[in-house]
Structure 1
Amino acid sequence: MSEHAMLSLSFILLAGMLCQWIAWRVKFPAIIFLLAAGIVAGPVTQWLNPDELFGDLLFPFVSLAVAVILFEGSLTLKIQDIPGLERVIRNLITIGAFITWMITALATRTLLDFSWSVSFLFGAIMVVTGPTVIMPLLRTVRPKENVASTLQWEGILIDPLGAILAVLVFEFIVSGGVEGGFAASLLIFGKMILIGILIGAAGGLLFGFLLKKYLIPHYLHNISALALVCVVFAVSNVLEPESGLLSVTIMGIWLANSKGLELDDILDFKESLSILLISMLFIILAARMNISEFIDLGWPALAVFAVIQFVIRPLSVHLCALGSKLTMNERHLLSWIAPRGIVAAAISALFSIRLEYLGYQDAAQMVPLTFLVIIGTVLLQSMTAGPLARFLKVAEPENEGFLILGANRVAQVIAEELKKNNIQTLLTDQNWSAVTEAKLKGLAAYWGNPVSEHAERNMDLMGIGNLLAMSPHVELNALAAQYYRLEFAPANIFTIRNSQPNSGASEAKAAFRYSGRILFGDSITYQDLEQLLQQGAEMKTILLTDEFTFEDYLEQQGTARVSLFAIDTNAAVHVFTAQPDFTPKAGWKIMALAAKKMIVPSSESE
């Protein structure tokens, strides 16, 4: 038994990682693969049984995991990021929630003949969208800032509020209906809101104080945040059941909007932890599904899903966005995206068991219906939201451009050639004359320190996803490489050598060790490129064909030509490094710095 449990847990972790990796490779939302893995492991093969594996710890684990995910999401909610959107967000979590609740309940009652009590409870559960599905979807779809901010705030705030609404409806049902239900529900609502806000604010105030006074060593920041979030969630739930989600959300928002707190490391840790938890949760809850229960629901259940997707969400968004700064296309995309996630699944499972015990037989159908909506919204929106965003022209450009540290001659020549090939670049330098010269050539350039707060606020990195550190200053290259590792990911940080480190240059060796991938090869330095330009070398773009292959190109390559970039047939840019991870093929283009006397094939385009 213990060996099977160990294997099951290991499988969940491995399957989660593989699903995330496959999603990254094919540029598709990971949720689809996670659901598929859970269904195959659970109802299809019967290999994974979460109830047997976790026992009574299943729902506490799910609740704590959701709390951590909510806290991580709320840490990114800065009020300064939503100017002009406050009213839309407020409307969505109030008016929009009410519309969703009422119409969903009516559709469920009409189409599936559920009792009014179960219909209203299901409607309350469908109010919840949540960050477990919104965040991964946003990473894939990449909508413009107004849409992304609105969805992010709505998804995080509606989670605890939707859970509270579901609790109120449940308490109304078990309190005997109209006579005793309103008073009991109103009292519970007041206690949940009060305790949730007070405990959350206290947790945020305490942790912020500990950080500001340096009472926690840096290496304990992450684990301390995790421990305190779990304690805040548990204490709040003990004082008033189901108020914990609101508490951790308030705690995260409090910290995010507190001045003088450095939360980048905590955010990085929590983001990684959230990816792990989301992966586990979707596999675990998908494995609990019973396929026969889906079949028993029949076509009316699909009709309920259609009403939620095609009627309720568009109606809610367009009413809530009246008079806002959102464009019509942004509203259309918002109308399409509202996937249900883990919180809806957990709440439906919990309350269906309780209602069945009280004699509501149709409550058993609430769980498969909830999962039908979860799977339907996730699959449909994951597969279509990206193309729809691009069609509506409300998607951010792919982060394939280059931030080039340095506006020197070498950097300018490279930026000009990249621009000729429709590749976005942004030069940055503290030398005013160099930046001015670059701008006169039609190149985008930023004057200032690229690792300063001013740059963080004013340097537009939209469409930029790579760093080329090409300054002649080793230490500045290393500093920028470290600064942008989290922004662009380590694999997209490239630094050129300035001189070969030797035993007498320990500082240079130490700096270069943390400078990312080596640009253009081990033997190429900034000074080499500068000297080639002084000798009259030019940038050339060479087209590979079946007649002139990459092997032919390499045979011609000598000291008078330096390979810099390769552009594949999909217009994606690959950087030549000391250890290139690609092999150019026919149809690819090679960008190289070559001496004028160098012979190139007739297929070359300059």
Structure 2
Amino acid sequence: MSESLISLVSVGLLSIACQFLAYKIRLPAILPLLIVGIIVGPVLNLLDADKLFGDLLFPVVSLSVAIILFEGALTLRFKDIRGHSNMVRNLCSVGVVVTWIVSTLAAHYALSIPWQLSFLFGAIVTVTGPTVIIPMLRTVRPKSNVANILRWEGIIIDPIGALLAVLVFEYIVASQAEALTHTLIAFGKTVGIGIVLGLAGGYSLGYCLRKKWIPHYLQNTAVLTLVLGAFAASNYVAHESGLLTVTIMGMVLANMKNVEVEDILEFKETLSVLLISGLFILLATRLELQAIANVGAGIVIVLLAVIFVARPLSVLVSSIGTGLNWRELSLLSWIAPRGIVAAAVSALFSIKLQKIGYDGADVIVPIVFLVIITTVVVQSLTAKPVAALLKMRAPPPNGYLIFGGSQFNRMLAKEMINQDIPVTLADTNWDAVKKARMQDIPTYFGNPASDHAARHMDMDRLGRVLVMSPYQQLNPVIAYHFEYTIGKDKVWGLTNNEQTARPSHQVGKHYAKRMTLFDEGVTYGYLASSVSHGATIKTTRITEEFTYADYLEQYGGRVIPLIAIDDEEKSHVILLGEDLEVAPGWRLISLIRAEDEPV
């Protein structure tokens, strides 16, 4: 018992360590997870998933994959497919079919794998996924249109590719048990039950959420329990229809009107990170090095076909009528790493096929893992120079993320936009976001440090963060997150002098050092008071005739410089204690306090 406990705790510790390492080196977490799993498993024999879980391994993997697919399906909104160009829609439809067919043919002819397993392999490797795409995009920084296509393809294609793999698997299982006519009937029953229960379960659950029948504090737990219940019930009624059921349920919930799924999605994302990390290490421990060696030289042909034939052909066919140029298509063709869904689904189906005695099913996992390793390693290392060679890297991010939607922040954001400085304003308060949108200011509604923001908020243009909200508990979280993401020297907050009277509410010393925006005493309360008394934000050009000293003297102490724009159009934030030399040709964005404002 103690040995099992130590093994389980070790998996958790290794998972967190791998996630942190991936976060620091800005590579997909799947890579260190895979390496660690292989080292502690087949190399050192320190961890054996089969020995650790025994007969429970199959249910644990099944339930974990069900949760991962449900969470992925919760992001599949039909409006997102329509709203993010024809290219995304085509890649997630006709592109999936092209990849499926090419990968199937390669596996069958190069490795002599039976047609049914080849079709299953082809379906599994159609997915990419945000867990591998987003870290790569942060490093590569491709131009915004290509980045958006890759980001949305990764989000949408996960549940679609997994659903295709589920359907192929259901057909294989049905064909094992019956003659051809009965196979089609059994297959139709499995798909039909999965769709019917998925639609019914998703709508019923969404209706309960819409009517507020489930207390808010129970929603996450209730949804998780009911989804797993639907998964088990579906499998009981029709063999192996549960994965299809939970995928459909997620899609229904994501597209129902007046059903808030953001809190549920955030909870499922956290749970999925835990499950993905632990599951991938456990699955990697089951890899047999001899099985990988036995795959044969034909795997090279399969890898070349997946990378150099399937993906480029998929992109080319999907691009018809989109107007993308050859450079954009070339970069899209090169970035398509496979992720955790491919690993989890391949392991799950391999276990299931082996349990029903399907001959040769154990070949699926090694070849899928080899595809994952090759695409992640090769493309992570080469995508940046390839993008540079194609001249498809975005310029250095010179925009700002402003956290906080106060009137002052909206005024500043609007003036920065007028000076051609990219800005996105984020807030967890809908009224503030709504007012910003009415002023045509780009916004993000929610916590910008969340996983949802990582998927939906475009940070390609934004290289600096101004934390200027009244949320004293949330501000440090935002600052810490973006310090790791974009760098400590690119995140600043307002001074917080008003907190000195309330020491129990003071923030950490580390964060306090970052609260250096503008000038001494310029707090959130000070700015709000100034704006309420009629302060304005203006941009003034400094010249040889009208120097910076003249500018300060003109307003008699009523001016607070905020942003300086030099003669090369680079912006500089005015920081407390920093002696910025403003030269002729520069522009200053400043807060001008009203003459009658009380001191």
Query: Normalized against structure 2, the TM-score is what?
Result: 0.71
User: Aligned to 1:184, which of 140, 158, 182?
Assistant: 182
Instruction: Tell me how far apart the structure 1 counterparts of residues 64 and 182 of structure 2 sit (CA, whole Å).
Output: 29
Aligned residue type for 2:77: K
Secondary structure of the 1:526 match is: coil
**Correspondences of 1:104-253 after superposition (within 5 Å):** 104-114=103-113, 118-129=114-125, 134-142=129-137, 144-172=147-175, 175=178, 180-181=179-180, 183-253=181-251
Aligned equivalent of 1:79: 78
Q: Structure 1 residues 435-444 or 321-330, which shifts more?
A: 435-444
Instruction: Tell me how far apart the structure 2 counterparts of residues 239 and 163 of structure 1 sit (CA, whole Å).
Output: 16
Give the CA deviation at 1:90: 6.1
* Contact 1:196–1:236 (8 Å) recurs in 2: yes
Secondary structure of the 1:499 match is: helix
Aligned equivalent of 2:303: 305
Query: Cα 1:130–1:90, aligned 2, differ >3 Å: closer, same or farther?
Result: same
Secondary structure of the 1:401 match is: strand
Aligned equivalent of 1:48: 47
Aligned equivalent of 2:501: 502
Q: Structure 1 residues 340-349 or 264-273, which shifts more?
A: 340-349
* Contact 1:84–1:325 (8 Å) recurs in 2: no
Give the CA deviation at 1:310: 1.5
Give the CA deviation at 1:595: 7.2
Instruction: Tell me how far apart the structure 2 counterparts of residues 574 and 33 of structure 1 sit (CA, whole Å).
Output: 38
After superposition, what is the alpha-carbon deviation per residue over 1:296-345, rounded to whole angstroms, capped at 9, x for unaligned? 22322222222222212222332233224655444434433151522442
Aligned residue type for 2:169: A
Secondary structure of the 2:214 match is: coil
- Is residue 2:432 matched to residue 1:451? yes
Aligned residue type for 1:164: L
Q: Structure 1 residues 301-310 or 272-281, which shifts more?
A: 301-310
After superposition, what is the alpha-carbon deviation per residue over 1:279-303, rounded to whole angstroms, capped at 9, x for unaligned? 1111011110111122222322222
* Contact 1:197–1:246 (8 Å) recurs in 2: yes
Secondary structure of the 1:241 match is: coil
Give the CA deviation at 1:385: 4.1
* Contact 1:313–1:338 (8 Å) recurs in 2: no
* Contact 1:404–1:428 (8 Å) recurs in 2: no
User: Aligned to 2:470, which of 471, 475, 478?
Assistant: 478
Aligned residue type for 2:25: V
Secondary structure of the 2:501 match is: coil
After superposition, what is the alpha-carbon deviation per residue over 1:137-173, rounded to whole angstroms, capped at 9, x for unaligned? 1221236222321232122211022221133145335
After superposition, what is the alpha-carbon deviation per residue over 1:324-370, rounded to whole angstroms, capped at 9, x for unaligned? 46554444344331515224422452355257x46x4x544344233
* Contact 2:403–2:425 (8 Å) recurs in 1: no
Q: Structure 1 residues 215-224 or 345-354, which shifts more?
A: 345-354
Secondary structure of the 1:215 match is: coil
Give the CA deviation at 1:87: 6.3
Aligned residue type for 2:158: G
Query: Cα 1:70–1:23, aligned 2, differ >3 Å: closer, same or farther?
Result: same
For structure 2, the 5+ residue unaligned runs are 138-145, 444-457, 484-490, 531-559, 564-570, 583-587, 589-599
Aligned residue type for 1:69: I
Aligned residue type for 1:168: Y
Query: Cα 1:500–1:264, aligned 2, differ >3 Å: closer, same or farther?
Result: same
* Contact 1:93–1:157 (8 Å) recurs in 2: yes
Query: Cα 1:102–1:235, aligned 2, differ >3 Å: closer, same or farther?
Result: same
**Correspondences of 1:378-417 after superposition (within 5 Å):** 378-385=376-383, 388=386, 391=390, 393=392, 401-403=400-402
Query: Cα 1:237–1:12, aligned 2, differ >3 Å: closer, same or farther?
Result: same
Give the CA deviation at 1:43: 0.5
Give the CA deviation at 1:438: 5.5
Give the CA deviation at 1:17: 0.3
Aligned residue type for 2:234: S
Aligned residue type for 1:287: T
Aligned equivalent of 1:69: 68
* Contact 2:193–2:234 (8 Å) recurs in 1: yes
Give the CA deviation at 1:192: 3.1
* Contact 2:110–2:302 (8 Å) recurs in 1: yes
Aligned equivalent of 2:38: 39
Secondary structure of the 1:468 match is: strand
Query: Cα 1:396–1:347, aligned 2, differ >3 Å: closer, same or farther?
Result: farther
Aligned residue type for 1:451: A
Query: Cα 1:388–1:405, aligned 2, differ >3 Å: closer, same or farther?
Result: same
Aligned equivalent of 1:266: 264
Q: Structure 1 residues 92-101 or 250-259, which shifts more?
A: 92-101
Instruction: Tell me how far apart the structure 1 counterparts of residues 167 and 296 of structure 2 sit (CA, whole Å).
Output: 30
Secondary structure of the 1:190 match is: helix
Aligned equivalent of 2:330: 332
* Contact 1:450–1:480 (8 Å) recurs in 2: no
Instruction: Tell me how far apart the structure 2 counterparts of residues 105 and 87 of structure 1 sit (CA, whole Å).
Output: 26
Give the CA deviation at 1:45: 0.2
Give the CA deviation at 1:219: 1.7
**Correspondences of 1:591-606 after superposition (within 5 Å):** 592-593=576-577
Aligned equivalent of 1:342: 343
Instruction: Tell me how far apart the structure 2 counterparts of residues 44 and 374 of structure 1 sit (CA, whole Å).
Output: 19
* Contact 1:481–1:493 (8 Å) recurs in 2: no
Instruction: Tell me how far apart the structure 2 counterparts of residues 290 and 489 of structure 1 sit (CA, whole Å).
Output: 38
After superposition, what is the alpha-carbon deviation per residue over 1:546-588, rounded to whole angstroms, capped at 9, x for unaligned? xxxxxxxxxxxxxxxx9x99xxxxxxx999xxxxxxxxxxxxx
Query: Cα 1:369–1:493, aligned 2, differ >3 Å: closer, same or farther?
Result: same
Aligned residue type for 1:194: G
- Is residue 2:442 matched to residue 1:460? yes
Query: Cα 1:111–1:494, aligned 2, differ >3 Å: closer, same or farther?
Result: same
Instruction: Tell me how far apart the structure 1 counterparts of residues 38 and 572 of structure 2 sit (CA, whole Å).
Output: 37
Q: Structure 1 residues 4-13 or 442-451, which shifts more?
A: 442-451
Query: Normalized against structure 1, the TM-score is what?
Result: 0.71
